[in-house]
Amino acid sequence: MHRTSNPTRAGHRLVKNALVSFVVTTLAWLTGAARAEEGVTADTITLSRVIALTGPAGAKGREQEAALQAYFSSVNASGGIHGRKIKLLTTDEDLRTDDAMKRIAQAQRPFALFLFGGTVGSTVAMKYASPLKIPFVAPNSGASVFHQPLNRYVFNVRARYQDEVIAAVKHFALVSQRRLALIHVDDAFGRDGAEGYREGIRLTGASSVYEASFTADKTNAEAHVQALIKSNPQAVIFIGSSKRVAELILAARQAKVSAAFMTLSNNSSAGFARELGLEARGVVVSQVTPPAGIQNTRLSRELSPLLAGKADADLSYAAMEAYVSAKVLVEGLRRAGPNLTRAGFVQALESMRRVDLGGMEVDYGADKHSGSSFAELSILTEDGRYRR
């Protein structure tokens, strides 16, 4: 018997098959879109970092890089983040221009920016990344521009430079060293620190007997030293790169300036102590993390074995700052889950409320991207060690 097809049933089949095909195609597209987040593949997460590893500020960058490579290698060896390995692309450059940032970002296509060096370079990075909704974790600067106003895509791990300077002025006033001087680099970093100095003077009622600046490439140390001799401060705060600050301190010591000397955490490297040599003794350096090498915090107990036996890996405050920043980044990536997106990563970081990293706490939220206000003073010994 010859059977004729049912056109209604055939039509239903066609509609059903088309619907199934549409659903499958849509799911495949959505899954592919999630996988296609820039800087994320099935097995890698790409991060960009731009910092000077050579030149006047290179010591801190090198010590940080050693700590980062050691930690990320450890994370990757343990399976990475939800099966993806962290790929850190570090460019040795003193980032100064928007064009340079665009060139690097277009070549590397990162998921996020991480621990860029210095106030100027970090500002350039922030200006590039924020309109594109690229997360920027741990600017390697305590400048206020990264804290206020709140930027949805910038997550600060360290305290502000102004907090460090204010802590130093309060310390000097407490020990009756109330005649103070400030010598700072004439750029955004130095000017930001100078604002903290003036606020510290206002809060304590101390006297500022000399305030001056220098360019990034020339300190005019002799002129500043003569001004210090004439103004006779009891303590001098220097703000600048490690090489320039070391030049100023060495010149002042040679001229027998009897004041106490202090500088900020950007110079908290073993390399800075080596630049000072025997004149390191007594120099005060503010810090934004607990110390490395002293086994009284979990952070230090974790970092020490990571760097043990590695060439050119100093167990320094600079290394600790990098390690703390990397732990925050990794925790945010883990919380963001396997379907990693930039928006999900931002939300994951904002979910980190009062997280104890092992001796230092970070606290974020939708209206709070300044993770830590930890600031304390250390002092250098004659053999170049930092002591609390």
pLDDT tens digits for range 245-278: 999 999 999 999 999 999 999 999 999 999 999 9
Of all residues in the chain, what percent carry a pLDDT higher than 70? Answer: 91
pLDDT tens digits for range 94-149: 999 999 999 999 999 999 999 998 899 999 999 999 999 999 999 999 999 999 99
Domain residue spans of the chain = 44-159+294-373, 161-287
Q: What is the DSSP code (8-state) at residue 297?
A: S
Closest CA to 306 of 323, 330, 324: 323
Q: How far apart are CA 381 and CA 387, in angstroms?
A: 7
pLDDT at 90 over 90: yes
Q: CATH assignment of 161-287, given 3.40.50.620, 3.40.50.2300, 3.40.50.1000, 1.20.1250.20?
A: 3.40.50.2300
pLDDT tens digits for range 174-198: 999 999 999 999 999 999 999 999 9
Q: How far apart are CA 368 and CA 362, in angstroms?
A: 11
Q: How far apart are CA 153 and CA 301, in angstroms?
A: 31
3-state secondary structure 236-277: EEEECCHHHHHHHHHHHHHCCCCCEEEECHHHCCHHHHHHHH
pLDDT at 115: 98
Count CA atoms closer than 13 A to 162's CA, side-chain side.
Answer: 17
Interstrand relation of 235-239 and 260-263 (parallel, antiparallel or unpaired): parallel
Both tokens of 86, joined, read 């962290």
pLDDT at 31 over 50: no
pLDDT at 310: 86
Closest CA to 116 of 160, 51, 189, 45: 51
pLDDT at 344: 98
Q: How far apart are CA 158 and CA 290, in angstroms?
A: 11
3-state secondary structure 187-234: CHHHHHHHHHHHHHHHHHCCEEEEEEEEECCECCHHHHHHHHHHHCCC
pLDDT at 74: 97
Q: How far apart are CA 306 and CA 300, in angstroms?
A: 10
pLDDT at 36: 61
> Is the Cβ–Cβ distance between 273 and 386 less than 8 Å?
yes
Mean pLDDT of 361-368: 98
Both tokens of 187, joined, read 């750029």
Closest CA to 165 of 248, 272, 292, 285: 285
- Model-level pTM? 0.84
pLDDT at 14: 43
Note whether 44-159+294-373 and 161-287 share their fold: yes
Architecture (CATH level 2) of domain 44-159+294-373: 3-Layer(aba) Sandwich (3.40)
- Mean pLDDT, the chain, integer: 91
Q: How far apart are CA 149 and CA 330, in angstroms?
A: 25
Per the model's pLDDT, the better-predicted residue between 335 and 30 turns out to be 335
Q: How far is CA 111 from the centre of its chain?
A: 17
Q: How far apart are CA 179 and CA 201, in angstroms?
A: 10
3-state secondary structure 358-384: CCCEECCECCECECCCCCEEEEECCCC
14, with CB counted inside 10 A (0-12, 13-18, 19+), is exposed
pLDDT tens digits for range 32-86: 444 469 999 999 999 999 999 998 888 899 999 999 999 999 999 999 999 999 9
Q: How far apart are CA 250 and CA 100, in angstroms?
A: 35
Confidence of residue 24 (pLDDT cuts 50, 70, 90): very low
> Is the Cβ–Cβ distance between 367 and 272 less than 8 Å?
no
Per the listing, tokens 């060439």 go with 311
